[in-house]
Amino acid sequence: MKPVIVIIALLLPVSLQAASLTTSVPARFIGDWAASPQSCDSGTDDLTLRIASNRIRYWESEGPIKAVVVRGNAEIALITELSGEGETWLATATFKLSKDGRKLVEVSTVPGQEIVRYKCPK
């Protein structure tokens, strides 16, 4: 478990202070997310994202979630092992949830670049 903590400390922009480490995504982040509420289930939205308790799926890649850092009620950082187009790689992602739980912002490692997604109905 120590190597995972070191990796998280080095790769994720979320401070480990006041954060907890787990391998399961909190329920409030689980679900299908899209670029707009209207594009849910359209099959054409390349910002589609499905987050499960231990797995994540983007438009063209998916894989298991290896570690989750939870900070407060509205922020998580993930280490994932994604596969797509015949390749497999480790990736990190940080997500912030709106107070009402309907908007998920993926915070990029590039300052000022964020991807906003909206919760799809179940």
**What are the tens digits of pLDDT across the range 78-107?**
999 999 999 999 999 999 999 999 999 999
Stronger pLDDT, 36 or 13, i.e. the higher one: 36
What sign does the dihedral 12-16-22-24 (CA atoms) show? Answer: negative
Tens digit of each residue's pLDDT (9 = 90 or more) over 32-91: 999 999 999 888 899 999 999 999 999 999 999 999 999 999 999 999 999 999 999 999
Q: What is the pLDDT of residue 14?
A: 46
**Torsional sign, CA 13, 16, 17, 23:** positive
Tally of domains in the chain: 1
In terms of residue numbers, what domain contains 10? 2-119
pTM of the model: 0.81
**Cβ atoms within 10 Å, residue 121:** 8
